[in-house]
Amino acid sequence: MKPIMTNLLAVDTSTENCSVAIRWQDNFFSEAIESPREHSQRLLPFVEQMLQQAETDLSQLDGLVVGVGPGSFTGVRIGVSMAQGLAFSAELPVFPVSSLQALAQQAIRKHNAEAVVACIDARMGEIYYALYRNNNGLAEQITEPAVAEPSASLFAGHNVQGFHTAGTGWDNYAGTLDPKQELKHSIDCRLPLAEDMLIIATKGCVTSVDAENLEPLYVRNEVTWKKLPGR
């Protein structure tokens, strides 16, 4: 069983949201704003704000949590690079969390969803998607994150009737993905949040990595990640 970490800072810029959350002892604080073109300017001030509100600093934390995608390539890079830099400076482990799993966790938290189809608009006429089930309040993966053109046949082999939906992939492709209207559409679960990544990490459901081994989850094979020089 993985050790349970309680004092964690989470950051996510994998989609339009710039989201930060911190759990320190018995205190919890979070902040999120939809600002897709301002992640690089907003993220560090949000981190500093969360640490100030919790009256702590990086050196007192058990680790960092970061949304590693899939999502916006630029957004994912910003979040992962920030987490990597903070982790190196404070010598902290990092817990990578999928943005799709965070969306599923959000639907579970808000709607007590029994199962979730998480989809993120991948642009270029494609979506990132994965299926999750509610395992005692935690989003447990049924299928691996994948990228594909939207089609109802994507879920063939899985009885998704009654599943909740989450993510921006449903904004433009709900009719294509759910032509029979068999799913429960959670319109308030469009973007992943750092607070749900904290839930996943604090329950010991994610294996930590050293900062030098942290990598994005791009899903698209043609995208490569360049690690920090000298790491």
On whether the CB atoms of residues 216 and 142 are closer than 8 A, the answer is no
**Edge-to-edge strands, sheet with 17-24:** 27-34, 17-24, 8-12, 63-67, 94-97
Report the SS3 class of residue 201. Answer: helix
Distances (CA, A) of 131 to 33, 53, 102, 197: 26, 35, 12, 17
Cα–Cα distance between 211 and 196 in angstroms, integer?
21
The percent of residues in the chain predicted with pLDDT above 70, rounded, is 94
Find the helix or strand (DSSP H, E) in which 216 lies.
none
- Tens of pLDDT, residues 28-84: 999 999 998 999 999 999 999 999 999 999 999 999 999 999 999 999 999 999 999
The CATH number of 8-98+192-213 is: 3.30.420.40
- Identify the pLDDT of residue 156: 85
Give Rg (Cα) of the chain: 17
Cα–Cα distance between 139 and 157 in angstroms, integer?
20
pLDDT value at 226 more than 60: no
pLDDT value at 231 more than 80: no
- Identify the pLDDT of residue 81: 97
pLDDT value at 224 more than 80: no
Angle at CA 229, nearest 5°, toward 227 and 231? 70
* Virtual torsion, Cα 176, 149, 185, 156, nearest 10 deg: 80
- Residue 177 DSSP symbol: H
Same-fold call for 8-98+192-213 versus 99-185: yes
The class (CATH top level) of 99-185 is alpha beta
Distances (CA, A) of 211 to 64, 80, 227, 228: 10, 9, 10, 10
Taking all residues of the chain, what is their mean pLDDT, rounded to a whole number?
93
- Tens of pLDDT, residues 86-100: 999 999 999 999 999
SS3 content of the chain, % helix, strand, coil (to 5): 30, 25, 40
For the whole model, what pTM was predicted? Answer: 0.93
The domain limits of the chain are 8-98+192-213, 99-185
- Tens of pLDDT, residues 184-219: 999 999 999 999 999 999 887 899 999 999 999 999
